[in-house]
Structure 1
Amino acid sequence: MTILTPDNTVNPQVAFTKNINIASGTHILYVSSDPEKYIDNATSFIASGLTLGQAVVFIDDRGVFKIILQRLFDKGFTQEQIDSLVFTEQNEFYQTEKPLDIEPVLLNFSNLLEPFVKNGTPIRAWGSVKWYPGQSCLDEKLRLYEGAADEFIDKVKCLTVCAYDGMELPATVHMEIMKHHQYIMSDTELAVSGFYKKEKLSPSIAMEESIESSIEKFKDLQQLYTAFIEEMPDSVFITSKGIIVHVNKAGLKLLESEFIEITGQTIWDITDQSSHDLLKERIVALQNREKMVPTEVKLVKADHTTIDVELVTFPFIFEDYHLNETEITIIRDLSERKENERLSIRNEKLGIAGELAASIAHEIRNPLTAIKGFLQLAKEGFTKLDIYTILDSELDRIETIASELLVLGKPVSEKKSKANVGMLLQNVCTFMNSQANMKGVSIDFKCVEKELFIYCNEEQIKQVLINLIKNGIEAIEGSGTVTITAGLRNKLIAIKIEDNGVGIPKHIQHKLGEPFYSTKEKGTGLGIMVCYRIIEQHNGTMEFSSVEGEGTTFIIKLPFVEQE
């Protein structure tokens, strides 16, 4: 991809407004939580550009653009000025019909700016960032995208605002992408980003005399940060040595508490007992300057009920409280996401039950036929056979199949308990045998050790195993075998599910687990995605390898629990 690097553009500063000059090539992160204020800010951004004779590129929703156009007309801008705007619909620009691909997006940006860069016209651009919903590794992709965009914007010397919906932007991504923007902006504030990593962090915001000295010396920078934190849609907690010294409005709303009730408490006071061990691990990791990853914990609200949240913590300087080293923790309410996950798991379970209905009916009918036949023999006086033992065995078989089917029909539960992996796998294999037999496939189960225990939600783990075994059966053309083994490795129980089916082509393996992507003709792709999520919630991992024409192997690793 050719990146525009005009040598003739020697414009170290560009007018941001009538009163403010800002370094050309400046990259501003705008996270909005108020749609009305968002439109006000976008309108002001465009209006300033038109007034100053700059080229203006606007990437957003078409409906938003129509509202802004009307406001520009109301402000007295001419049709000629309005026609000079370059508008691109955000879904087309960011190609939201597929997972984020950085290079084509930057190429689109380069093509939009090329005419103005060649003419040496000062440019300002506003992009409302959108992405394909549900894609995997979104955090990493957005971080890489903003890093690449920052390099590009610096080269083409374009004043750029990257706008995000605060209710959609993950908190972890929010903190990471601050490192690629010289300025951070909320609906009401603009401040220099203290997270920006490059040496070229703009040293000069040239302003009129009345405000120049205070901005240049950054005397009020902490107040700007405070205001910015207050406007964030995510909850923000600032702590020092475990003591809460500040909480923003969203945090107070989340815990349904008053500021005076929260400040002065320890972080342990607002965290459920079940999450304390995890918090201790995070504190040690933070002290060792390890990279923080999002962690799910339970917080305790004012009414003593608990709420599931995701949090990430960073070291931070917050001099307003006369503290040298503090931590800033961004917290996001997971209630809605958890409910969506429960619905996804529930729908997937019902889908599996529906697909297996025919084989289940066939499997239950076989022992029923046997029972009926032996009862008839008993009526006719054949008493030499051990009829009762056979009947008991056949009834046990029906009971096992019916129990496993009930698991798929049960509402999703959050409860976890100790479970024997060998027994769990044996029951699932018994349940899936009917499906395998109908396709001429055999299931070979080998449990290396008998006493293998995990702490889990049995229903959910069974759902994962059923899904993977079912996929293995369906991948086999003609006769074949699905082999299931389990063993202990380095305090982890490894469950391997291996088939000798058609395998997965190498060029699409990286897409496995993305929603709505499936190798099956009528698949939704949600099954594997749900499996990954369930294993992740059990502090485990799931990985796979596949060779086209030879088969596929899935390996699930879960923490081993000692038998008491």
Structure 2
Amino acid sequence: MLTSAKQYHKYYWKIAILALFIIGVSTFHYLTGTTHKYHGLHEIYRRLYYVPIILAAFWFGLKGGISCAIVVSFFYLPHVIYQWGGSFFTNDLPKTLEIVLYHIIGIVTGFLSQEQMNATAKLRHQAGVLAQAEEQLRHADRLSALGKLSAGIAHEVRNPLASIKGTAEILSDKFKPGDKEYEFVEILIKEVNRLDTVVADFLDFAKPKLPELKLSEINNIILSVLKLTEHQMAKARISLKTHLEDTLPTVYVDPEQIKQVFLNIIINAVQAMPDGGTLEVKSRMDSSKILCVFSDTGLGISKDQQKNLFTPFCTSKKKGTGLGLAIVHRILDGHKGEIKFTSEENKGTCFTISLPVRDV
């Protein structure tokens, strides 16, 4: 059934059609004479009232059928009393029972229509669930394939990187700080370290570790991550606001993995505010879940990027791997948690992480 004003607005034209039909038929009733030669027309008009009742039941279900039957009776009853010369009861029983018949039609048709609506809604819900499950399976297949590919590439790349880094460190010992060659070697070591970090991200994504659940304080994890990023936020001219609920229960999580989740979210927020801004961090209880909310006043996420935000290798950063949020999503899946977000370009982004409070 329709419950909101917006939903009712969608069907205003149907209500208008029903009203015009009922008023039209009633007008013909009252304008047509009541002598014997017009009785055939009145019989037709009486049956025409079935049309809006059936339509109302078909469009709006049981309530629609009953409501329309009541309205039709309201319009039809004065005519009957007038035609019968002021007496409600008459020897013409079909006329007396016509109003009862309107309600029977409204109830029966409305009931059948309502059952069909409920069945259709149930099928649509099941279709939505199946579609979501199918999409999750496809997503899992893609992740599995990408994971195997990433693991293979990462292992092949990491060994040569270690050799290059070792060679560069040996070369750096032969030059003094300030030499042009020393500067080149330092750049080489820096870039090798950066590539090693990328490879580590690939390996984290390709071979996720099972969470080692421990009884933990979520606020303590948040504060430890904020301490780690304190210097980076100060350097980026980002002001921090925290609203951490101090009555949160302890929860079984892998502290290191959840720390990685929070760290990725905060680093993304810092990078989204190149000209400074505000990061607001909140924690609170919501039913049987702990909610951790991270809101920034940064550049926001475009609508195109929002569609694939948690898809591996999808990134708008020049130096990003596109695995940060994919890893976050995978870690939270392992904790039976969820991550949601809202974002508006040039206004900011808000990530909400929910973690269930449960026994192991």
TM-score, structure 1 as length reference:
0.28
Write 1 or 2 for the structure with the bigger share of helix.
2
Write 1 or 2 for the structure with the bigger share of strand.
1
Larger Rg: 2
If asked which structure has higher relative contact order (CA below 8 Å, sep 6+), I would say 2
TM-score, structure 2 as length reference:
0.43
